[in-house]
Every structure is written in C-alpha cells, then in structure tokens.
Chains A and B, each alone.
Chain A
Amino acid sequence: MASETTQPGFWARVQRASVERLHIRLESLVVLLALSTAMALLSPYFLSLSNFLNILLATSTIGVLAIAATFVIGSGGLDLSLGSVMGLAGVAGAFVAVNLGWPSVLAVIACILAGGIAGNINGQLVTRAFVPAFIVTLGMLGLARGLALVISQGRAIYGLPPEIVYIGQGRPFGIPMPVIILVVTAIVAHAVLAYTRFGRHTLALGDSEGAARAAGIRVEHHRRIIYTLSGALAGLAGLLFTARVNAGDPTAGINYELTAITAAIIGGTNLFGGRASILGTMIGALIMGVLQNGLTLLAVQSYYQQMAIGAVLILAVFIDQYQVRKESRV
C-alpha cells in the first residue's frame, strides 16, 4: 500500500494528467468508446457518417442544456427548470415570429431573452428570498411549462419563417447548423469555465461558498449571473429545437433536464459543486446521444430508453461518490 501512494501507477498518472490538463475524466472517455464499439458490433447502421451526424444533431439540444447544467451544478446550485424553460423559449420565439409576425432576428432574441428572464427569476429567488434552488427551479419547471401552454393555447405554433428553420435544418458544408452552434457554444463555454476569472470563481463558489466570500467574491451576484446564463442557454436550446422541428411546441423538452444533468454528471461534474468541465460534459452528452441512438437502431422502445437514462444518472453519481470517498482523507 505504502509504495502505491508514493509511486502512483501508470493509469493513475494518466488519469491525473487528463484531469489537470484537459479537464476530462478519463473514465468517461473509456465509457464512450466502449459504448460506441458495442453499438457498432450490434448494429450495422451505427458506423456511418450520416448516423454520426444524426447522433451529433440529436445531441445538440441536450448538449446546450448540459452546458447550462454544468455551470449551475459546478457552482453548487441546481436547475431543474431547464427542459421547461427550453419549451417556453421555443414557444416565445414561435409566437413572436408567427403570431406577431415580427422579423426573425427578434424571434431569435425572444427565445434567448425568455430563457434568460426565467433564469434570472430563479437566481433572484435563490439569492434574495433564500428559497433552496431545488424548490425554486422545481417551481419554475411548473411555471415555465404552464406559461408555454398558456401562450400557445396548448397547441404547437407552426409556420416559422425560413431563416429560423435554417437554424435547425440548414447544413452548411454538410454539417447540420445545430451541431455547429453546439460546438461553438461548447468552445466558448469551455474557455470561460476553465480559463477565465468568472469560471474559476464559479467553481470556487461551488467548492466552498465561505472561501469564495472570504476571498471577496460577490457570491450572490455571481449566482444570479449563473442562473441567468443557465436560462439563456436553455433559451438557445429551445431555439435549436423549435427550428429543427419547425414548430413552437409547448411540450418540447419534457424530462430534458434529466438527460442534461446526467450528461453533466457523467462528464465529471461534482454533483455538489466545485469540479466541472465543459469538455467532460460534451463527452457525457455524447454518451447519452450514443446510448439513445444505439437503442433506437436496435429498435428498443423509447420507454426503456427513459429507464436507461435514469439508471445511468444514478450509476454515474454512485461511481463519482465512490471515487471521492476513496480519494479523500478522512
């Protein structure tokens, strides 16, 4: 045992280097490769460029939501309203474009603004009214969904202008637009979280609120920004989804928070804050994408897919907590 602690093994060193330099937990990469190999062996359709793009396209909405979840959970918070806010944002955008007939640019802004406002309300309530994030965002889950149904009168809003549809269905250079938007968003988010003061303060805040406060970080202000950012990203996800299905669907995004949070946790985000990486989360989102895609190719009913996601979430947290307990000195 003693020699093990002084001279870490090859695997441990690679693990550490991966976490320190790339902010990725190696295990998640291994899981992604193993899962992909398994799917490739099980289904002849899995390994093809078109299916690969399919996976990325299906991952784009969840991926953007997972980025939001990463920031919030990394800061020691929680946002359960992601899926509902996404649905509300899509309806808001479609309402502006179709019912009001305003220019597409305003519809795009409406999506992100609607999400940002919902997120800001979450942040205000968490930091000023001292209601736990779990309750605030659970309440917002109901509020946003209900408002989406009210605005759309319970029906999907069809007839979006072509510019918006292009955001969801366009393929410049053969690459789906949502995939391009996800990749750009992920790169920016990764840079912000890993390399800027804002990102470092976010993780410090999730690690120890007391330490962050003592260091002079404006804790409440920072939390409000993070919840607003989370909502705005949910708004962007709503835009991508609405544009892809060419309708403002008030039921869009139901249960998406489950998948998004799972992706973030699989990617190495500490459920209790302090550790998070966007690169890791993207791998987590891809794992979820491959899982869903593979199960679909294998003609597994979607009911079972839902169960698989739930099981993966619990398993991911179990493995993470097991490792934390193993590593920590008590």
Chain B
Amino acid sequence: MTLLSLRGIRKSFGAVDVLHGVDLSVAAGEVVGLVGDNGAGKSTLMKTITGIYRADTGSIEFDGKDILALDPGQRRRLGIEMIYQDLSLAKQQDVASNIFLGREPTKRLFGLFPGFVDKGEMDRQAARMIERLGAHLPSINRSVGSFSGGQQQTVAIARALTFNPKLVIMDEPTAALAVREVQSVLDLIRRLRSEGIAVILISHRLNDVLSVTDRIVVLRHGRADADLVTANTNMNEVVSRIVGGGDTAAAAAHEERG
C-alpha cells in the first residue's frame, strides 16, 4: 500500500532550481534510503514533504490525501515526522517541552480557564518515551542544551515517535554519533519497520543505508535518478549512480571500507 506519493515535485529558490520534477513513493512500513551528492536536493525534498517548504509544482499525497496545501503542523498531525540533521531542538527548554512542542496537552486551571499546559502529564509521558528508547538522561527537567549530542538526539527521536507517526524522515541521523550509538539508531529503524512505520533515511554512510533499507533512491541534479531494490544492488552500483557513471571502483572500495 502506498503511503506517500510525490509526483513531479519542482522547487526553486530565486534563480536556483533545486528540484526538477521528483517522483517518489514510499509504502507503509517500508524503509527507503535517499542518497545523493551534496546539493542534489535531498534536504529540500524532505522539507517539501514536511511542509517547511511549499513545492512550486507537483503533487504530494499522503495516506490517500492531497497534502500540498497543508502547513507543517497539519502534516505532523497526519503522521509525518522528521528528525532534522541539526535536531531542531529548543535548547533552553526542558525535555518534555521539546517533545511536546506544538502539541502540549492542556487542562483547565481551577476547572475554569482553558489552555493551561498539563506539565505533569507531559513529564510523565516524556519520561516513559525516553525509557522506551532505552536511553538515560541526567534529568528530564534540565534544559536540552546541557545534554551531550547523543542525548540530544534521543530527545529529537522521542519527539518524532511520541505521537504515533506513520512516516519518519531521518536526515543524517548517524553523522555525528559514536559507533555504538549508530548501531542503536539502525536497530531503531528496523524496529519502526516491524511496527509498520515507514522511514526515509538520508545518509552519506552508504554502509548504513545498504544494511537497513528496502529500497534506495538516488537523487541527482534534482531528479530521482535511480530507484534500486537494496537486496539486488551493491555498493558499486549505488556509488556509480550517485556520481553518474565513470570509473567508480576506487570510490566504492573506499566506501566499502567504511
């Protein structure tokens, strides 16, 4: 079943055309790797899915609905989450505030005034979510900026998973992590797939992409240049598709060594 379907997505910034008509589809519970050189348009494409950018032309359907006109908040409510490369955390706010940002549970103050944030409920749910991810944070009430990179990433992941998403987009989730943390992110991706949650993984680490995805889409010059089934491809082919032919054996061998 197709969960997400992009057709002919174009996006330009002023005179710079970044996306020249991208087609991409993701099935429910499928893990799709999105690879491509720097400037190929990966991040821009993802931001047109989350609604941070509005595509100039083309159509985006999610779960059978046309979502082109929806803003990021509405798309999140439909179940599209993204873990950003820079994590996009509010560093001076605490863990629960970040996880629930934009979706805070509310209660009535003295049973009268609506719209008051239910901080107790937020803290309980945040603690449960962090625990479910098997992570340890010094304190849930500390500002996120005082945590280490890996701990901050845990908060960003918890934020993406707390509201039962259908699609999670991860932009370079392993770029800044230690080896052990990389493995736990890859395990997490496998767990999401087993729960029927689709994942789009953007990564430069082709070994990670080859080990965890079902399909690999290569973005080149603003187009989806290749759509490869992971089981039927290899490092050589992926690298040659990324750089666009030529002698790629050396580059592939370099990647293989990781």
Interface residues of A (CB under 8 A from B): 20, 191, 195-198, 200-201, 203-204, 207-208, 210-218, 270, 274-275, 327-329
Contacts and interface: CB of A to CB of B under 8 A. Distances in A.
A205 B52 CA distance: 15
A327 B147 CA distance: 11
For the complex of A and B, the 3 pairs showing the least CB-CB separation, nearest first, are A216-B73, A215-B102, A207-B90
Contacts of B103: 215-216
B52 A197 contact: no
Given A208-B89, A211-B89, A329-B146, A216 B102 contact: yes
Interface in B145-183: 145-146, 148
B76 A212 contact: no
Interface stretch (B3-11, B109-117, B184-192, B199-207): B109-117
B101 interface: yes
Contacts of B98: 211
B155 to A, nearest CB: 11
28 contacts: A191-B113, A195-B116, A195-B117, A195-B119, A196-B117, A197-B104, A197-B106, A197-B115, A200-B101, A200-B104, A203-B90, A204-B90, A204-B101, A208-B88, A210-B84, A211-B88, A212-B90, A212-B101, A214-B72, A214-B88, A215-B73, A215-B103, A216-B71, A216-B76, A216-B77, A218-B71, A274-B92, A329-B145
Nearest to A203: B93
Given A204-B90, A207-B92, 10 more contacts: A191-B109, A191-B113, A207-B90, A213-B72, A214-B88, A215-B73, A216-B73, A216-B75, A217-B73, A274-B90
Contacts of A215: 72-73, 76, 88, 101-103
Contacts of A211: 88-90, 98, 101
B105 to A, nearest CB: 10
B194 interface: no
B136 interface: no
Contacts of A210: 84, 86, 88
B62 to A, nearest CB: 15
Nearest to B118: A195
B97 interface: yes
Given A208-B88, A208-B91, A217 B117 contact: no
B90 to A, nearest CB: 4
A195 B109 contact: yes
Interface of B: 50, 52, 71-77, 82, 84, 86, 88-93, 97-98, 101-104, 106, 109, 113, 115-117, 119, 141, 145-146, 148
A214 B109 contact: no
A328 B97 contact: no
A213 B52 contact: yes
Contact of B115 (A20, A196, A203): A196
Contacts of B89: 208, 211
B224 to A, nearest CB: 24
B67 to A, nearest CB: 13
Nearest to A327: B146
A217 B101 contact: yes
Nearest to A20: B141
A214 B90 contact: no
Contacts of A196: 115-117
B92 A275 contact: yes
A216 B76 CA distance: 7
B212 to A, nearest CB: 24
Nearest to B102: A215
Given A214-B52, A216-B74, A197 B88 contact: no
A272 to B, nearest CB: 10
B17 to A, nearest CB: 23
B115 A198 contact: yes
B5 to A, nearest CB: 22
B72 A216 contact: yes
A207 B104 contact: no
A200 B89 CA distance: 14
Contacts of A328: 145-146
Determine which residue in B74, B92, B116, B145 has the highest number of CB atoms from chain A within 10 A of its CB, and name it.
B92
A329 B148 CA distance: 8
Given A195-B109, A218-B71, A270 B117 contact: no
Contacts of A208: 88-91
A274 B213 CA distance: 38
A191 B112 CA distance: 14
A200 B84 contact: no
Contacts of A195: 109, 116-117, 119
B86 A203 contact: no
